[in-house]
Amino acid sequence: MRKIFFYIILVVLILVGMGADVFAEADLTGKLVIDVKVVNNKLISTPTILSKVKTQIGSVFSQDKLNEDIKNLYATGYFTDINADLQDEDEGVVISFIVTEKPLLKEIIFRGNQHIKSERLRRLMDSQIDQPLNFVQLKQDVDKIENFYIKEGYHLSIVKEEIIVDKDTNEARVFVLVDEGGRYRISSIKVSGNKAIDTKIILKSIQTKRDALFTSGFFDDSKFKSDIRIIKQLYADKGYADVEVDYDVEYNKSKNTMTIVLDIYEGDKYTVGMIKIKGNGVIDIKAIKLALKMKSGSTFTPYKLENDVAGINELYFEKGYISARTIPEVVFNKEKQQMDITYNITENELAYIEKIIIRGNDKTKDIVIRRELKVKPGGVFDGARLKRSKQNLNNLGYFEEITYDTAPGSAPNKKDLIINVKETKTGQVSFGAGYSSVDKFIGFVELQQRNFDWRNWPTFTGDGQKLSIRAELGSEKECYDLSFTEPWLFNKPISFGFDFYNRYRSRNLYELQRLGGDVRLGKRINDNIHIGTMYKLEQVKLGNIPYWATADHLPDVWEEEGEHAISTLQFTLVRDTRDSSYNPKSGGVIDNTLEIVGGPFGGDRDFVKYRGELDWYFTHFENFTFETRLRAGLADEYDNTNMVPIYERFYAGGATTIRGYKERHIGPKISGEPIGGDSMLIGNLEYTFPVMKNIKGAVFYDIGNVWSDIGDMGKDFKSSIGLGVRVKTPIGPVKVDYGYGLDYDPGDKKGRFHFSMSRGF
C-alpha cells in the first residue's frame, strides 16, 4: 500500500514540475503575438524566413497555426531542425524560431576519375552550387554517377561522397570519390539449364551482346534487366509459365573482361485442357470456340489467353454488345499437367447509338467526316461498321490519328459515339528536283490541297475537295497540270472532276506534245466498288523525227507525224479491298479501264483500248509485305481504219514494268528502236522487309512481254530477278533496284540499276 502511495506522489510531483509549461501553453491561446524572432540563422536572412510563416506580430496566437508554420519552414528545404520557443509576457507572447540551417553547397570536387572528365560527371548531377545542400539529392546524384560508370563498362566501379562543412560559415564542400575499378567488356555469355529453347535463339533475342566487331560489349544493367524479361517471355510463349532466370558474373581482372552466366530453370510446360464457355446467349458456342486461337491440346500462354479474351469481346462488339465482358477462369489439372479454361461471359444489353459527336476537326467540316461513317444515330453499335468507318476516314488522308470513345446516353442501352480526330497537314506548296532512270533530271513545283473548299476564303480548306496545280521541267519532259475533284457531288457518293494539261515528251524517235482536258464522273456503289466515266479531248502533235528514221523503215512513226485530235470516252470499274490506300498491308485492287477512241465521238483516230490491273497484298510480322501485281492491256483499231497510234501502244521494260531491261525495250522493235504493241501482259512479285528505321529491303521477280498482235499474246515471256532498297529521306523517298534479266537478247546489257527519287513514300 505504501509503495502505491509513493508512486502516486511521484507522478503528482512530475506533473507539477511540467505543469507550468502545460498550463502556460494553454494560457497562451488567444493572446496577442508581440514579437517573432529567428535564432541561429546565418545563411538565410530573418525577413526571408519570416515571410514563410503566418504567425506575425499583432496576430492572435494559435498553436495550430504555429505547427503549420514549422511545417512550412521544413518545406523550404533550408533547415535540418526547427523548434519554437514561447515566452509569456504581460503584453503578450514572444515567439522564437530556433533553426539549424543546412550547409550551403559552395563546391563539388571530383577525385579518382581518370577516364571520364569531371565536367561530364558534373552534368549528371542535380545538386546546385550556392544552394542549401540537399543530402537526399546528393545521394541520388552519386548513385546516378555510379550507374553511368557501369553503363560505360566500369562494372566494378564504386562512387562515394564526402562532405566537409566549415562550422564558422556553414559552407560545405562535397568530394565525389570515384574508384573506376577498370573497364570490363563482355567476353562471353553462357546459358545453362535450357532445353526447350536453343542457346542461339536466346542469345539472338537479347540486347546484351558480347564484345565483337559491331558491338561494344559493355554491360548495361537496364538492358540486361529487360533481357531477363525477354527470356521469360520466350518461354511463356512456349508454355513454360513458371520459368525462372538467374545469373552470375565472372570477372577476369587481368584482361578486364567479364563472363555472364545465365542459369535457367524451365519448369513444366503447360498445355490447354478442357475449354468451357459460360454465359453466352447471343453467340453460339461453336462460333466462339472457332474464334479461339488456343485449342485443347495446344500450348498455354498468358499472352494467348489475353488475345482470346479480346477475341471473344470483339465478337460481341461486332454485334453491338459493346459492354460485354469476358473473365477467364484457369484451373491447373495436376494429373494431366494441363490448364482447364472457363470463359465466363457477361453479355449485358445491346447498345444503340444516340448521338455521334465529332471532336478535334478544326478545319474539316463535320459533314465530310459524317458522310464516311457506316453507322448512324439510332443504329446498333456495329463493330464491323465502326472498323470500316475508321478505315474510310484514314483513307481520306486528312487525319494522323482517329480514336473512338463512348459517353452515357439517356438510357442504359443508349450511348453517344465520340469520334476524336487529330488533323494533319493536307495542303502543301512543294518544289524541288529529282532524278530517275526514266525521266532523267527533272524539277517541279506544285500547289496541292487534299482537303480543298473553294467557298471557304481565305483558307480554302475543309470540304474534302482535291486541287492540284503542278509544273515539271526536265531534260526529257515538260508538263503543266491542273486537276480538281469533288468526291461528294450534291452530298451524294458521286464524284465530279476535271483536268487540263499540256505535256511534252522527248523520245529517241520523236517529240510528242499533248494538249487537252477531261471531265470525270464517278459513283461509289459500295465500300469496295467504284464505277466511273470520263470524256477526254486532246490535240496531239508528233514531230522532230530524226533524219535516219525514214518512212520505209519506221512507217509507224511517220503515220502519226503532224497534229491529230483524239476524242476518248473512258469507262472504269474498280474493286478495292485494301486495308489502306496509303500503306496497304492486306487486300487488293482490281482496276478495269475501257477506252473508246474516235468512232461516234469524232477525232482523227479510231481504236479501242483496254487496261486491267490486279494488285494484292499479304503481310506477316507486321512490316514484312508481299505484293503481287498483274497487268494486261489490249488495243485494236476499228475495222482496219488505221493502226493504233505509236504513242497509244503498250510498252514494257524498265523501272515500272520489268526491271533489269532497258526502258520500253521489251516488245516489238524496228532497227533496234521500240515501237510498242497492241497487247501486253506483265506480272510482278515483290517482297519488302524492314532493314532499319526508314530503310526497307526488297526482293522481286518480274515477268511479261508486249506483242504486236493480240493473237500473239502469251507466246513468249521475258523475266528478271533482283534486289532493291527503299529509303525514306527528309527530301523524299529514294528507290533503288537492281534487276538481272533472265532472257536477254544477244548484245543486251546483263543487269541494270533503276534509280528514282520522288515526293511521296
Answer with the one of 143, 164, 179 that is the final residue of a domain.
179
Between residues 672 and 381, the one the model is more confident about = 381
* Helix-helix angle 302-318:383-396, to 10 degrees: 90
> In whole angstroms, what is the distance from residue 483 CA to residue 476 CA?
23
pLDDT score recorded for residue 735: 85
Q: What is the pLDDT of residues 557-607, one digit of tens each?
A: 888 889 999 999 999 999 999 988 877 888 999 999 999 998 888 888 999
Global confidence as pTM: 0.62
299: amino acid identity, one letter: T
pLDDT score recorded for residue 730: 64
Q: What is the pLDDT of residues 419-449, one digit of tens each?
A: 999 988 777 665 555 555 555 666 778 788 8
Range with lowest mean pLDDT among 26-30, 79-83, 664-668, 713-717: 26-30
> In whole angstroms, what is the distance from residue 176 CA to residue 139 CA?
10
Closest CA to 252 of 300, 317, 187, 296: 187
- Domain match, 200 and 258 both: yes
pLDDT score recorded for residue 184: 81
| Residue 12, pLDDT above cutoff 60 | no
Please state the rounded mean pLDDT for residues 256-268.
89
Please state the rounded mean pLDDT for residues 159-171.
89
Residue 518 domain flag: no
- Domain match, 175 and 195 both: no
Question: In 524-674, where does DSSP find H-type helix?
Answer: 555-558
Please state the rounded mean pLDDT for residues 696-725.
93
> In whole angstroms, what is the distance from residue 613 CA to residue 573 CA?
11
What residues make up the domain containing 72?
A: 24-101
Please state the rounded mean pLDDT for residues 380-396.
89
| Residue 133, pLDDT above cutoff 80 | yes
pLDDT score recorded for residue 135: 87
Please state the rounded mean pLDDT for residues 144-168.
87
Read off the C-alpha cell for 19.
505543469
- Domain match, 109 and 95 both: no
pLDDT score recorded for residue 430: 58
- CATH number, domain containing residue 124: 3.10.20.310
pLDDT score recorded for residue 442: 67
Q: What is the pLDDT of residues 478-489, one digit of tens each?
A: 999 999 999 999
Residue 306 domain flag: yes
| Residue 639, pLDDT above cutoff 50 | yes
pLDDT score recorded for residue 25: 45
Q: Which residues of 561-572 are buried (b: 16+ CB within 10 A; e: fewer)?
A: eeebebbbbbeb
Residue 338 domain flag: yes
> Looking at the 3D structure of the chain, how many domains does it have?
5
Three-state DSSP state, 507:
coil
Please state the rounded mean pLDDT for residues 202-208.
89
Please state the rounded mean pLDDT for residues 538-564.
85
Closest CA to 755 of 720, 731, 724, 730: 724
Residue 702 domain flag: no
Cβ partners under 8 Å of residue 564, min gap 6:
539, 540, 541, 542, 603, 604, 605, 645
pLDDT score recorded for residue 161: 92
Q: What is the pLDDT of residues 596-618, one digit of tens each?
A: 998 888 888 999 999 999 999 99
Q: Which 8-state DSSP code applies to residue 645? A: P
| Residue 503, pLDDT above cutoff 90 | yes
Helix (H) / strand (E) element for 290: namely helix 285-291
> Residue 758's pLDDT band (boundaries 50, 70, 90)?
low
Please state the rounded mean pLDDT for residues 151-179.
88
pLDDT score recorded for residue 633: 96
- Domain match, 250 and 298 both: no
Between residues 80 and 373, the one the model is more confident about = 373
Cβ partners under 8 Å of residue 464, min gap 6:
364, 365, 368, 396, 398, 451, 452, 453, 487, 488
Cβ partners under 8 Å of residue 42, min gap 6:
101, 169, 170
pLDDT score recorded for residue 441: 67
pLDDT score recorded for residue 6: 47
Answer with the one of 423, 451, 475 that is the final residue of a domain.
423
pLDDT score recorded for residue 18: 42
Yes or no: say if 240 and 267 are a contact pair by the CB < 8 Å rule.
yes
Three-state DSSP state, 322:
coil
> In whole angstroms, what is the distance from residue 221 CA to residue 154 CA?
12
Question: In 113-245, where does DSSP find H-type helix?
Answer: 118-122, 135-151, 199-205, 221-237
Please state the rounded mean pLDDT for residues 218-232.
86
Yes or no: say if 510 and 371 are a contact pair by the CB < 8 Å rule.
no
| Residue 8, pLDDT above cutoff 50 | no
Residue 158 domain flag: yes
Q: What is the pLDDT of residues 732-743, one digit of tens each?
A: 678 889 999 998
Answer with the one of 48, 77, 101 that is the final residue of a domain.
101
- Domain match, 221 and 241 both: yes
- Domain match, 145 and 132 both: yes
Residue 169 domain flag: yes
- For the chain, give the percent of residues with pLDDT over 70: 93
Residue 589 domain flag: no
Q: What is the pLDDT of residues 319-365, one digit of tens each?
A: 899 889 999 999 988 788 889 999 999 999 899 999 999 998 888 89
**How do 732-741 and 752-757 pair as beta strands?**
antiparallel
pLDDT score recorded for residue 486: 94
Please state the rounded mean pLDDT for residues 100-129.
90
Residue 698 domain flag: no
- Domain match, 30 and 62 both: yes
| Residue 17, pLDDT above cutoff 70 | no
Please state the rounded mean pLDDT for residues 198-213.
87
| Residue 460, pLDDT above cutoff 50 | yes
- Domain match, 284 and 310 both: yes
Q: Nearest 5°: phi and psi at 599?
A: 60, -125
**How do 185-192 and 257-265 pair as beta strands?**
parallel
Please state the rounded mean pLDDT for residues 619-628.
85
Please state the rounded mean pLDDT for residues 453-478.
86
Range with lowest mean pLDDT among 85-94, 517-526, 651-660, 725-734: 725-734
